Amino acid sequence: MGVVFVDTETTGLDPRRHEIWEIALIEEDGTEHLWYPYLYNFREADLIALNIGNFWERYPKDKLQKFKGLGTLIQGNDIIVHQIVELTYGKHLVGAIPSFDAQRLEKLIWEYDMVPGWHYHLIDVEALAIGYLNNSEDHEPLKPPWKSDDIFNALDIDRNKPEFEKHTAMGDARLAKAVYELIMR
């Protein structure tokens, strides 16, 4: 079966209007994949979301030239979608709130007449961590509402390490992998 670690950065929180602009997948063996899909409905973007993820500094500038084709699916995303479908087939998606990422990836995949094939049980490392911490004699139980940083601090994972850069798809996927491996070892 296996797992794949996932995170996405989006142009906002509404899956009906907002798009993925950055996708990271990490295979169990540590192979990392990072994609920047072309955007085709940029007019719907939430500027706050773009600023949180440092979109303007990190999104490839050559892809910004493609916005002339607004309203049409831009060629090139089909290659990304094929790769994602292949890498996730039969695997459990693992992430911090992976339902967010899965919902948006499903939308992108369906737009290219493909079907997502990952296992329907998503693995949320934050939920795993709460169970792990609350059943450990070494930690005080964490009570809701939980904050992600509190969870990672309780696990002694330094969220400020450069490889875990916040609000980047790869940084967040690496963090999910680190949490999963710590708990599931």
Q: pTM above the 0.85 mark? A: yes
* Residue where the block lists tokens 């295979």: 27
* Domains defined along the chain, listed by start: 3-111 (3.30.420.10), 125-184 (no CATH)
The pLDDT score that the predictor gives to residue 50 is: 94
- C-alpha dihedral (60, 35, 128, 50), degrees to nearest 10: 30
The closest alpha carbon to 167, from 30, 2, 42, 10, belongs to 10
Q: What is the pLDDT of residues 121-164, one digit of tens each?
A: 999 999 999 999 998 888 778 888 989 999 999 999 999 999 99
Report the alpha-carbon distance of residue 152 to residue 18 in Å, rounded.
Answer: 28
